[in-house]
A and B are shown apart, each in its own frame.
Chain A
């Protein structure tokens, strides 16, 4: 299992993106991502990538951190790039368009999600009228991912200390299946205790947090500018090209 650094590690920094209202930030950057994905032209897509990089720069999140998080996308895009650029109906330009748009979209996730604590993101999603059950599942699952990841790490360490080694064979696979089973049993036992504790403290199926949002003129202005850029990017392609 690979170690993943947390996305909101740099939520404590200060930048114009950090102090942007979470709801306005989510909507504006999401619009920009969608606009960039819709671009059919490589040059305009490069402009989109430049805008994404600018926003990432303004957010002051270190590029080394972003690069570490982007390994998976790069691993997905690299073979795709090679195959499409060798395909007769594809070519280098088509392949580059895909790669540039994919990179721009993933870079924008950092200013969007990485500039606030994840529980603030979840709260903002709720305020944006995402169904409550879904938001709660996101919140609970998020809390437990790190707990279970630690639990799994411990179980794996104890397996390794008894001589287990991952190899390409059926024994490894069936042991993995049983290991997952054990993770399930432990997780559910723990969750039942936590759930009882939650109910006894007044949990009634509704989300309550201490975060309160306030929308100021500056927040609306920033969102308006970004959405205008997003719309402009697509309009250029569909009128000029």
Chain B
């Protein structure tokens, strides 16, 4: 889901840095306390490790993205968390690129925030297994939005990338379903084991 250096036009990756810089600064300075940093980092590392898991699809395999999972566990802080994860991926494992850290954070971080928003609706509904259902929705929506943003970046870079878009969409469609099931199962599990880790969980609520 992340683009390497040299593909996108400067306009696209520079605006990526502008948006990421503004949003990450706002969330880290206004919405995050310094005492939360160790806990945030731990979840970031766990998401990072979990996103290296490969899921077999027939003869090939895909790796998880887990932007939705970051959203439902970290809330707004998912955005800087994804920034950190992408910096580490670019620096340590050469996944993605250096100039594209900003735009890749936008492409995965904004969907993570959307997933957080979707998951918060869990408090306003009252159906059986709602955490699993909303977790799944959040997981799937995050990937679908990510694909949309990624395609937008490719299309706005130039006409010569227009045929790359269908390839990207088809390659990522199975991931939407996969992440929906994985994140749904995750949310259901967390509800039983450590519910306070899920955003939008209310302790006194009868489930």
Using CB atoms and an 8 Å cutoff, list the residues of chain A in contact with chain B.
Answer: 1-2, 4, 6-7, 30, 33-34, 36-38, 69-70, 72-73, 76-77, 79-80, 83-84, 86-87, 89-91, 94, 97-102, 104-106, 109, 113, 118, 121, 131, 133-134, 136-145, 147-149, 152, 166-168, 170, 172-178, 180-185, 187-188, 190-192, 194-195, 198, 205
Contact = CB atoms under 8 A, between A and B. Distances in A.
A105 B5 contact: yes
Contact of B160 (A36, A90, A118): A90
Given A72-B93, A173-B178, A188-B197, A140 B5 contact: no
13 contacts: A30-B98, A83-B167, A87-B160, A133-B29, A138-B87, A145-B49, A148-B48, A148-B49, A173-B181, A173-B182, A176-B55, A181-B193, A187-B45
Given A142-B88, A170-B181, A177 B94 contact: no
Contacts of B94: 69-70, 72-73, 106, 109
Interface string B104-148: 000000000000000000000000000000000000000000000
A148 B35 CA distance: 21
Given A105-B97, A180-B69, A84 B45 contact: no
A188 B194 CA distance: 10
Contacts of B181: 170, 173-174, 177
Contacts, number: 241
A218 B206 CA distance: 68
A140 B37 CA distance: 9
Given A69-B94, A84-B163, A183-B49, 4 more contacts: A2-B52, A37-B97, A106-B4, A180-B50
Contacts of A87: 160-163
Contacts of B85: 141
A208 to B, nearest CB: 14
Prevailing SS type, chain B contact patch:
helix
B57 interface: yes
Nearest to B48: A145
A181 B186 contact: yes
Interface string B155-174: 00011111110010000000
Contacts of B42: 140-141, 144, 187-188, 190-191
